[in-house]
Amino acid sequence: MNTHPGNGRQGNPEDIRTAIQGAISSEAEMYQALHDLHGDEKAPEVAGVEMTVPTTPENIVTDEDKAHMIEWETPEIPGRKPKEAPLAAALEDSAPAAAAVEAPNPTVSPVERPQTEEEKEAQKKIEAMGRRLAGERQSQEASSGKFEALKKRLEIMGTATRERAEKSGAYTLEKTRDVGEWYKKQPLSKKLLVSAGLLGLASGGAALGGAAGAGIATAAFTGSALQRVLGGAATFIAAEGVLKASSEAYKKGEERTPEEKKRHTIEALALAVLVGGGVVGHAAGNISHDIAKLFNGTPDAKPANPLYSEYVVPPGGTVWKAIEQKLNTQEGFDILSAEQKAAFMNTLKNKLAAMSPAELKAIGISSGDINTLTTGEKINLAPIFQDDKLLAHAATHMQQVAPNSVAPTPFEYPEEGPQPAQVIENSPEKNPVPAQVIENQFNKQSGLTPGSSERPISWNNNGSAAGRVEAHGGTTPGSGEAPIDWKASTVPYSTEMPHNDITNETPAVRIPKSEIFSPYEKMPQNIVPASPEVLAEANKTLQKDLDGLFGRRGFYTFGGNSGVDSAHWKDPKFGFANKTVADVMDAASHPNPSVSGAGIANHTQTLKMKEYLDNVRTYSHLNPAPGEKVSEYIKRAAIAVLQQQK
Amino acid sequence: MNNELKAMLAKDLGIHDLPEEAQDQILASLGDIILRSTTTAIFERLNDEQRTQFEQLSADEDPSKIQDFLTQNVPDMPKLMEEEVKKTIARFKQAEDSVVENEII
């Protein structure tokens, strides 16, 4: 079937008409095209009926048309008059009339005359239209073919997923199906958010690789539009898309039907999976409703990002410090290891170093030299932070230098000039961390409020120990008791520490309940785990609590980061694991705590650890031994508490 | 989904030449497969006792409790999910390669 008009071959008139009508957007254009093809002719008189051929598009009729029209349309036929019959209707009704729009064929065309230039031009146009139509159709067919093939493949993959769940047993199958049904019920927009989260965030972009991976990695902490959407999207899922129904009813304590309960359970499961995998960056209890509202209301609204604001050079300020300060305003940057941060910042700094003096002046470095900043001048680093390619390159370099794991070696901040002003600005005196923040954090974790007489076994709500003990005596947070002199404890301590090679010869120390709540000085300090299980549980307690303090669950690009692996714990120079309890509790133990350092060099983290150790002491009723390291003290205290319950 | 992000994902998955509606369908389908396979992988790890515990927690419908439970009992959950995502993408990209090889395009 040939559908290309104007090729000189007898084609199916229906197809030709369809082709032309498809190519031409309006009837008027069609008339014009035909007019161009056949020209303006005055029809001869036929059978007494004078038929004129006006040049207007409304009624262009060729000699052929007229010849054919005689057969089917004469003044004798009631209700039909040639003068009033539009050409479109003629085409509609008459195959021969439609055939008249064919390009003249020198061998077949009944109109034997050479084509005019206009006719040739019109014919070329129609041929071009036909080719374009054919090309588009081919392209559509190709895309359609690819899409159909991929759809089929996805169906096969879906079936394989279902079969795997079936093989795992009825229980797993039920859970998998529940989650699948939850997903299916979501509108497309939410499905795409979840999908983006799973594809990009859960994998840290690494699974995708390439531009997407680096872009997502970049976006996670550079404040680009991508990051805002990702952050907003993830929070949106948690705040609005998933929890809404369940939380509202749950909070109101409303009676729910069994179906509603099941739905809420499924939602909770789906959210838990998404949170656990790092798709949702916030725990369910810490949802930022502001971000959710922002995302809900005006998707294009962009809150002011400190990343793009000017950097006012303080005394001793450097380009390195400027970059660092800006990046520290971005969520997620603080969880990177020192090596990762340095690798990322190096790339940006190198970019600045490569700029010409004129370019540097344009961004506010009046000297034109990145090593010479003037106090008080305002530097605009926004062009750097908005350069997505540069940021992607920096992220890639960072992953190459320091892959998804906390670097064990300490990072020495480069010496660049005198004492950095930012540290002074961020000193505890100038920017104290509100106590309420920390209190809420631990209270949230423990589920208790300050002053409550009940205390969980685990001071950090690890959930591994059952039961509760009542606090009798001892200091209580907020109790107003005098602070403890951690270094000057007079209680005799045992230096014997629990260790893994417990033998049966080591007697178990079981503390009678009556002695548990006596003042500290009567508390036996020689705590030995009664069994390997107790030791294992104590280790688990430590890990869980450290996760709560320093860990990140699959945060955006870098998958999960356990507390034990965090720089705040492990860093050989500043990590809490290698510090004594006294070091941590002594506020002056580190000269210049900042908000960007690791472990004890980080003001915020040190306050957290202090609070935590306070809780450990309160709930375990154990004092730390002189010179006892934080890790040893926590484990010893955990063993003591766990054995109290056995 | 942000257009920029979608364009990135589409490019990496090799579906950027498809119409937008087709891209959306494919992305949504991939999300479904990953979510379900991840859930299967997670629950395969739980023994009977843990499943019982899970059911008790589920009764509260508190995502944070469920999340805590999963984190505690499947501590490598993020890594698990990452592997499932990688596997799914690899299988999908394999499918794409065979589409090209078969000259369907």
Position A487 scores a pLDDT of 46
Contacts of A407 (CB under 8 A, 6+ apart): A337, A338, A339, A340, A567
The pLDDT-based confidence of A127 (bands split at 50, 70, 90) is: confident
ipTM value for the complex: 0.90
Beta bridge partners of A561: A552
Per-residue pLDDT reduced to its tens digit, A443-493: 333 333 434 444 333 444 333 333 333 333 334 444 444 544 544 443 333
Residue A19 has pLDDT above 60, yes or no: no
Nearest-CA neighbor of A604 among A357, A427, A341, A364?
A427
DSSP H or E segment with residue A583: helix A581-585
Per-residue pLDDT reduced to its tens digit, A34-50: 555 555 444 444 344 44
A159 at interface of B, judged by CB pairs closer than 8 A: no
Contacts of A195 in chain B (CB under 8 A): 1, 27-28, 30-32, 34
Maximum mean pLDDT: which of A215-219, A286-290, A317-321, A489-493: A317-321
Residue B33 has pLDDT above 90, yes or no: yes
Maximum mean pLDDT: which of A134-138, A230-234, A241-245: A134-138
Q: Give A240's DSSP letter.
A: I
Nearest-CA neighbor of A129 among A221, A36, A207?
A36
Residue A513 has pLDDT above 60, yes or no: no
- Is B78 in contact with A275 (Cβ distance < 8 A)? no
- Nearest CA to CA, how far is B91 from chain A (Å)? 8
Contacts of A194 in chain B (CB under 8 A): 31, 35
- Is B78 in contact with A276 (Cβ distance < 8 A)? yes
Residue A221 near residue B97, CB atoms below 8 Å: no
Position B1 scores a pLDDT of 53
CA distance to A104, A233, A281, per residue, from A287 (Å)? 73, 12, 9
Residue A122 has pLDDT above 70, yes or no: yes
Q: Which tokens is A340 given?
A: 């990762």
Cα distance between residue A267 and residue A279, in whole Å = 15
A180 at interface of B, judged by CB pairs closer than 8 A: yes
Cα distance between residue A575 and residue A569, in whole Å = 4
Residue A130 has pLDDT above 70, yes or no: yes
Cα distance between residue A258 and residue A566, in whole Å = 43
- Nearest CA to CA, how far is B83 from chain A (Å)? 8
Cα distance between residue B26 and residue A427, in whole Å = 51
Mean pLDDT of A16-25: 52
Contacts of B31 in chain A (CB under 8 A): 183, 191-192, 194-196, 198-199
